[in-house]
């Protein structure tokens, strides 16, 4: 068996592995896309804030309606007391004084309610404006999220179509190698960051850049019966 020739074949296998690894990594990145996840978190946070603002607005409108009903009731009560006070039916000063106190008390409560109603209206208007802006921003984020998801799905479909083809090509390259070479390749590859075989052009390891000694360079040129490995990183070398 000529190790130099086998290692040249192993370089082709390594390139096939590189393509498969890149596609698998891309597939994993697409399935766990950080930008898509960030947009989705942003969408959920904005939606929750909008829901809170909508609840606040509904509560303000409810309080405003209740205060308005109470104000109208007090106005009617004040009107009845005023009619009695000036209708000629009051016989004693004590009754007149009591009605006047009722009128004054109702007027004070009406003023307080009108102030509360006005404040609720102003706050509700501010909330509505904030909601309009928040909904517009949410729509923008949702559109960006939808676009990102669609792009990821489209690319994932391409990757899923290409990966089996590259895996089949990789398997074909592996079958061309002698079993002993393939075993050594498979042993080294996970230990050497995916690079088990490196070209040694210019007298240095093509993976780690280590300059080979003259002895190892000569051995690399002449030896075909056993693999020559880099003195520094331990990868198998092939004369480029």
The pTM for the full model equals 0.76
Task: With a cut of 80, say whether residue 234 has pLDDT above it.
Answer: yes
* pLDDT tens, position by position, 190-200: 999 999 999 99
β-pairing, 197-199 with 228-229? unpaired
Mean pLDDT of 125-137: 97
- For residues 124 and 64, the answer to whether their CB atoms sit within 8 Å is yes
Task: With a cut of 90, say whether residue 1 has pLDDT above it.
Answer: no
Cα–Cα distance measured from residue 113 to residue 109, given in angstroms and rounded to the nearest whole number: 6
Q: What is the per-residue DSSP string for 51-101? A: HHHHHHHHHHHHHHHHHHHHHHHHHHHHHHHHHHHHTT---SHHHHHHHHH
* pLDDT tens, position by position, 64-100: 999 999 999 999 999 999 998 888 777 888 888 988 9
Does domain 33-174 correspond to CATH entry 1.10.3470? no
Cα–Cα distance measured from residue 152 to residue 35, given in angstroms and rounded to the nearest whole number: 11
Cα–Cα distance measured from residue 194 to residue 235, given in angstroms and rounded to the nearest whole number: 10
Handedness of CA 210, 216, 222, 224 (dihedral sign): negative
Q: What is the pLDDT of residue 240?
A: 67
Q: Domain limits of the chain?
A: 1-23+178-240, 33-174
């Amino acid at each position: 068996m000529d190790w130099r020739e086998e290692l040249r074949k192993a370089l082709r296998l390594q390139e096939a592995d590189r393509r498969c690894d890149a596609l698998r990594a891309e597939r994993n990145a697409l399935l766990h896309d950080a930008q898509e996840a960030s947009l989705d978190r942003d969408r959920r946070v904005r939606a929750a804030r909008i829901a809170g603002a909508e609840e606040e607005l509904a509560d303000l409108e409810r309080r405003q309606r209740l205060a308005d009903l109470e104000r109208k009731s007090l106005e009617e009560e004040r009107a009845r007391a005023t009619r009695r006070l000036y209708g000629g039916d009051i016989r004693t000063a004590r009754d007149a004084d009591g009605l006047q106190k009722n009128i004054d008390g109702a007027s004070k409560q009406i003023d307080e309610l009108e102030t509360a109603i006005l404040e609720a209206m102003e706050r509700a208007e501010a909330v509505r404006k904030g909601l309009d802006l928040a909904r517009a921003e949410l729509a923008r984020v949702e559109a960006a999220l939808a676009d990102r998801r669609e792009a990821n799905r489209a690319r994932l479909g391409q990757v899923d179509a290409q990966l089996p083809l590259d895996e089949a090509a990789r398997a074909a390259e592996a079958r061309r190698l002698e079993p002993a070479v393939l075993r050594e390749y498979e042993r080294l590859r996970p230990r050497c960051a995916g690079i088990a075989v490196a070209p040694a052009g210019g007298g240095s390891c093509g993976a780690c850049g280590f300059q080979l000694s003259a002895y190892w360079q000569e051995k690399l040129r002449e030896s075909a019966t056993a693999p020559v490995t880099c003195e520094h990183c331990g990868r198998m070398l092939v004369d480029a």
